[in-house]
Structure 1
């Protein structure tokens, strides 16, 4: 049944204004932001905020700015009445926070608004009340005209009973404590960006302030006051500015924490032309600087202030001014991220670790001075055996601290005197025999109804570790030579010495990929997955063009494997992406490169789309084939096929990730799994991977950040035992 069209009519002015107010003032924090910006526009150097019930009952802001003239009070809360704009072109050169004249108007339509203001020229202050954008009666029977009163220079704005006439909005808000937390966040942001302005924020009736900053300070001191010394001591500063190819002028000031600081909740403060805004793209770009530096799921502190030519910024794109648009956003963001990375790289050597500082100090292995002393002992003691010398050499696990016995002095006669063998202190004794007891032998293994002590690894008992010989292939490609040179350049010599001389202790957690090893008198906890990924990347680079092959029989379908991996990706389903289209794009990309993949990496894919062979990087080690679908899927989006050097580097990193031991999902505690499978994996780690680490791995400094940690030192343990 057809219905008659309803007539169109104009809404009442009060309804229009109330709808508009709902777009500007979402919650108390929005109202406070508008009032703060007005105070800063007025040149205030002291701002005091008082809050009651999260700003719903009371929100008062007192400033010492320029104040408002008596003649302007009737238009103070009227819509689109402002002193910031005259023509539309003024938007292109705007330097102030407010400009539309909607803040106080919107507040007056959803709350009771009172103003007390005084300019420096006037002899008294003026008090006025507002309702629905116009002057209102402060009390029944009085006039709505502003009244003279006592007051200081500046303005006091009081907002009471926010959203009293919009009950739905009031019920939708969270608890007062949550709203107060949002208010504090706004105050803290502007306090950091305006360190020369004193901010004070407290709850009504409280004697202590939750935010209090001085009026003479710096950005760093403001961050320290608000976020504490733990953030301030790790702060780094970077500057970014327009380059020669940029079309307009801009500058960026960045304060961010080093790699020593990380928390689970991100803190990102963005100001563009002194306006607190939010940008998802800028946030993601600068937070991505910490990828590979901080542990997964943790973030740093970032404060970014951009000063951009106002004619290149569109400030009028969001009702609450929460977002702005500006030209060349991607290019500017890239410059900022590069500046942060440069400073992080320059400060990498200054990183401090609670347990790892010893790694960058004196070598725990014998020094040249001790070698000369040992030779002198041998010359003076012709009857000394090699075994004695080895015992003494093993005792030199630490720097000389003067605790060794004095050297025997030669007497006037040439007769040989018996030389007392130096006392070897217990804490200097080093276990250097790989056949001695390991961590696994300390735990009983269930076999049937009896318990036996595991003295040898199950799988291939009695077999000695034998690392296959791998030679570097001859390659004349400049890109490969540069990648190989980069590996040698990034090598950390002392960490390489620790790994080359280590003694395997045992696997601490298979699920968390943690293994204990001993080097000299120190015990280290290593992430064998991270070390493995670096090893297999280097082995792939070493054997470039001459990598062994692992034949798959029968050859699985490339399309089926990729579709299996894509189907397991939760993000694709959550974002509503077309999985079938993604599969086809990946297949198309990989098939187009199959000749190169077969020639350089021994990844052979038939013309019919079947995976015939995969690379064999380390003879005797078989990768976890359940990861093969994920590996093939990641070849599409994760490999840079546009650049030769980047293509080789990213492909080898994906191949190395495929070779990492363990299941796809890592980082969980050990699950009860099949005993034979678990023991087989443990055997591979102990008898194949760690011997390969000794022989081939050239560890970069980055492994010291969180993958190699010293957990104990024999001397310190003896001191603990002595106290007991």
Structure 2
């Protein structure tokens, strides 16, 4: 067999690979162009998008523009006005420097540039394809235009279908674009920003050039953030190369459970810095109520010779010397600032559940401040209750602690004597009412008096049971789904617990089961909503290590029955990606549906094992707690009855 020879890749392939490393999504393309506009000295930058930036992404600035003579090579790789030799990287003070941004975009989109310098009598327009002026040998076209540059990107990833299919919905991609513009708008004083959907008149972001940083934060993140801001600064540490660190952070009264990613700029460059983020979060954990998240914006100026800006294709990360010392220095200063202002606190008191005729209100009590009314928190603003209310029990379950033989990793636990919580959530009432409206009286009579006969086929999940003189065959998978869904509604906020002997890492669980696409979204949902999951569903999430949350307990829906933990990864993934967390009714109902799917017995070859579970656990519950709907009629089939058999025998 002839060995394959090593050959150089085609230049077009090389360029598209490089483009895929730099332009990950419309927001990353916008980031590169924003930086070019700021480097050009613009005082006004306008962004317009269509379909989340995939159909059209346009950025207009009033900067210095591009010389007509440079338009021929502006989209070729490694063409830049900011770098001459490699040593210049040690003193780089601009955003872009490698000359890859426009080149990369031109290989995966249709790119056009309209630009005018102060010395030009008119503007010049060029179209680009694969880094070259399109069509070849054409000259820039004279057009009307103002000083500055307008770059239009159309049909992004049109020749990169795998990347295009992996992107989120247009609305989510547009949200990422707004986030990028917001972060630069907060940091870049002296520059005005606007961002809107193409074709609309209203701007989603409008920041004037002369607005202060605090007012920029107010305009973008709201008064709730701006009213609790503290101006933050750190003393220089020349021995570590830290010449300046300043910004804004929220105080100890900031009431927020929605995570806002911290904004870090190092030497004017927007970056992520996980060590600094973790250190600041740990500092805040000592001052904020559990589950509350701060807002942080910091701008660091370091000795440029200590910073390596060329470690990531998108320049999203940087490396710098004395990282640990600088992080410790900043977090220590933050702890000092928070302790100095921790002289008054805001406390919320509320009735946990509203009555049908009266809606409860909150009272905000602040030392030496008047009371003011606040509306009852929504699901996304869920407030953790007192510790003694965290354990929920089923009144019919006795006090035991047992290890089940079929799942040695699970421990079941109950607490005797705890009164059931009365659930008054309107959404749960509505879900129960919808279930009751679908009840089929004939099926209800059949299941209330059934006698289990045996398993017909455990792979197809078919069983036989008897009612009166009739023999039925049913899909017990469908029955179990409806049964456990109804148990989830009736025992809502009163579940027993299944405690894992070893907490399970959500991240590792998803990766090991091939469900790592969308993993970060799933993990963030479980961390953000962990208090609600514990209170309502007895799902305890351990966030002692914030970057690696773990599942500690699961709800117990049926005494003596443990679900197949092989489906735990799918349960976690579907809860994070399929449940609508923005609507209370859809959220609670969706989680209960996923719990029901988790508890449905899987297809097994061991008929004896599943028969025992059906006879001792499932069928008694079907008789005592099940409200069968008319939708189950196709899944319950009468296969014989005694009068019919007599007639057959008579004919024989």
2-structure distance, mates of 1:670, 1:292: 33
In 2, are the aligned partners of 1:272 and 1:305 still within 8 Å (CA)?
yes
Q: What secondary structure sits across from 1:51 in the alignment?
A: strand
State how far apart, in whole Å, the 1-side matches of 2:221 and 2:420 are. Answer: 36
Asked whether 1:344 is paired with 2:338, we answer yes
Look up the match of 1:213: 207
* CA distance in structure 1 between the partners assigned to 2:223 and 2:321 by the alignment: 37
Q: Aligned to 2:293, which of 290, 299, 306?
A: 299
Q: Deviations over 1:396-424 (max 9, x none)?
A: xxxxxxxxxxxxxxxxxxxxxxxxxxxxx
Conserved 8 A contact 2:240-2:326: no
When residues 573 and 79 of structure 1 are mapped into structure 2, their CA distance, relative to the original with a 3 A threshold, is closer
Structure index of larger Rg: 1
Quote the RMSD (CA, aligned, Å): 3.3
Q: What is the rounded CA distance, in whole Å, between the counterparts of 1:573 and 1:566 in structure 2? A: 16
In the alignment, is residue 260 of structure 1 matched against residue 253 of structure 2?
yes
Structure 2: distance between partners of 1:93 and 1:148: 37
Match of 2:272 in 1: 278
Is 1:509–1:670's contact at 8 Å kept on the other side of the alignment? no
Provide the TM-score with structure 1 as the length reference: 0.50
Contact 1:511 / 1:670 at 8 angstroms: preserved in 2? no
Give the Cα–Cα distance (whole angstroms) in 2 for the partners of residues 256 and 168 of structure 1.
40
Partner of 1:498: none
Alignment of 1:63-74 (within 5 A): 63-74=61-72
Residue of structure 2 equivalent to 1:4 = 2
Q: 1:337 to 1:125 in 2, by over 3 A?
A: same
Which of 128, 144, 156 aligns to 1:150? It is 144
The reply on whether 1:189 has 2:123 as its aligned counterpart is no
Shift of 1:276: 0.9
Task: Please say if residues 230 and 250 of structure 2, whose CA atoms lie closer than 8 Å, have aligned partners that are also in contact.
Answer: yes
Are 1:287 and 2:254 matched, yes or no?
A: no
Q: Residue 573 and residue 566 in structure 1: after superposition, are their counterparts in 2 closer, same or farther (change >3 A)?
A: farther
Q: Which residue of 1 aligns with 2:94?
A: 96
Native 8 Å contact 1:253 1:306 kept in 2? yes
Name the CA distance, whole Å, in 1 between partners of 2:269 and 2:366: 45
Cα distance in 2 between the residues matched to 1:219 and 1:241: 20
Q: Partners in 1 of 2:183 and 2:242 — Cα distance?
A: 25
Which residue, 144, 150, 154 being the options, matches 1:160? 154
Matches of 2:59 and 2:340 in 1, distance apart? 44
Say if 1:37 and 1:97, in contact at 8 Å, map to a contact too: yes
SS of equivalent to 1:201: strand
The alpha-carbon deviation at position 122 of structure 1 amounts to 1.4
In 1, Cα distance between equivalents of 2:5 and 2:211: 61
State the match for 1:129 in structure 2. Answer: 127
Contact (CA 8 Å) 2:504, 2:552: kept in 1 or not?
no
Partners in 1 of 2:184 and 2:76 — Cα distance? 26
Describe how 1:679-698 pairs up with structure 2 within 5 A: none
| Residue correspondence of structure 1 range 334-413 to structure 2 within 5 A | 334-353=328-347
Q: Distance in 2 between matches of 1:103 and 1:227?
A: 29
Q: Render the CA deviation track for 1:520-540: whole Å, top value 9, x for unaligned.
A: xxxxxxxxxxxxxxxxxxxxx
Please list the CA deviations of residues 209-253 of structure 1 after superposition, one character each: whole Å capped at 9, or x if unmatched: 111111101111100000111100000121113336x24243111
CA deviation string 1:252-289 (max 9, x = no partner): 11311112112232331111111111122111111111
Change (3 A) 1:572 1:12: closer
Partner of residue 22, structure 1: 20
Match of 2:306 among 293, 296, 312: 312
Measured after TM superposition, the shift of residue 342 of structure 1 is 1.4
What is the total number of aligned residue pairs between the two structures?
A: 385
**Which ranges in structure 2 are unaligned for 5 or more consecutive residues?**
350-362, 370-394, 396-416, 422-498, 511-543, 546-550, 560-652
Q: Of residues 194, 204, 213 in structure 1, which corresponds to 2:198?
A: 204
C-alpha deviation, 1:185, in angstroms:
0.5
Tell me what 1:180 maps to. Answer: 174
> Closer, same or farther in 2 for the Cα pair 1:338/1:669, shift >3 Å?
farther
Cα pair 1:266 1:298 within 8 Å, conserved: no
Aligned position for 1:367? none
Deviation at 1:567, TM superposition (A): 5.2
The 8 Å contact of residues 46 and 60 in structure 2, kept in 1 or not, is answered as: yes
Q: Judging changes above 3 Å, is the alpha-carbon distance between structure 1 residues 12 and 255 closer, same or farther for their aligned structure 2 residues?
A: same
Question: 1:74 is paired with a residue of what secondary structure?
Answer: coil
C-alpha distance in 2, partners of 1:201/1:34? 16
Deviation at 1:312, TM superposition (A): 0.6
1:650-669 mapped onto 2 (5 Å cutoff): none
Q: Is the 1:252–1:307 Cα contact (8 Å) retained in structure 2?
A: yes
- Indicate if the aligned counterparts of 1:317 and 1:324 stay in contact, CA closer than 8 A: yes
Mapped partners of 1:316, 1:267: distance in 2? 23
Cα distance, 1:269–1:511 mapped onto 2, change above 3 Å = farther
1:44–1:65 Cα contact (<8 Å) kept: yes
Q: 1:394-433, aligned counterparts within 5 Å?
A: none
| Structure 2 CA distance for aligned equivalents of residues 44 and 221 of structure 1 | 20
The alpha carbon displacement at 1:94 in A equals 0.4
Q: Would you tell me which structure has more strand in proportion to its own residues? A: 2
Query: Alignment partner of 2:142: what SS?
Result: strand
Corresponding position of 2:405: none
Which residue does 1:569 correspond to in 2?
503
Q: Distance in 2 between matches of 1:575 and 1:338?
A: 35
Distance 1:122 1:346, change over 3 A: same
**Contact in 1 for aligned 2:287/2:338 (Cα 8 Å):** no
Instruction: Tell whether the 8 Å contact from 2:123 to 2:146 is kept in structure 1 after alignment.
Output: yes
Aligned match of 2:529: none
> Relative to 1, partners in 2 of residues 1:95 and 1:166: Cα closer, same or farther, differing over 3 Å?
same
> What's the CA shift string for 1:21-79, capped at 9, x where partnerless?
11111110010000000000001000000100111110000000000011111110000
Q: 1:85 to 1:350 in 2, by over 3 A?
A: same
Structure 1, gaps ≥5 residues long: 363-445, 447-507, 513-564, 577-633, 638-663, 674-724
Q: What residue is the counterpart of 2:471 in the other structure? A: none
Counterparts in 2 of 1:143 and 1:347: CA distance versus 1, 3 Å: same
- The SS at the match of 2:71 is helix
Q: Does 1:31 align with 2:25?
A: no
Deviation at 1:571, TM superposition (A): 4.2
Shift in alpha-carbon separation, 1:509–1:202, aligned structure 2, 3 A: farther
Change (3 A) 1:357 1:299: closer
* 1:437-459 alpha-carbon deviations (Å, 9 max, x no partner): xxxxxxxxx9xxxxxxxxxxxxx
Please give the alpha-carbon distance, in whole angstroms, between the structure 1 residues aligned to 2:115 and 2:71: 9
Going from structure 1 to structure 2, the CA distance change for 1:5 and 1:511 (only over 3 Å counts) comes to: farther
Partner SS, residue 262 of structure 2: strand
1:124 and 1:151 in contact (8 A); partners too = yes
Is contact 1:18-1:106 (8 Å) kept? yes
- Rounded to whole Å, the distance in 2 between the matches of 1:282 and 1:243 is 16
State the match for 1:494 in structure 2: none
Instruction: Decide whether the 8 Å contact of 1:80 with 1:100 is kept in 2.
Output: yes
What is the match of residue 528 of structure 2?
A: none
- Number of the residue aligned with 2:378: none
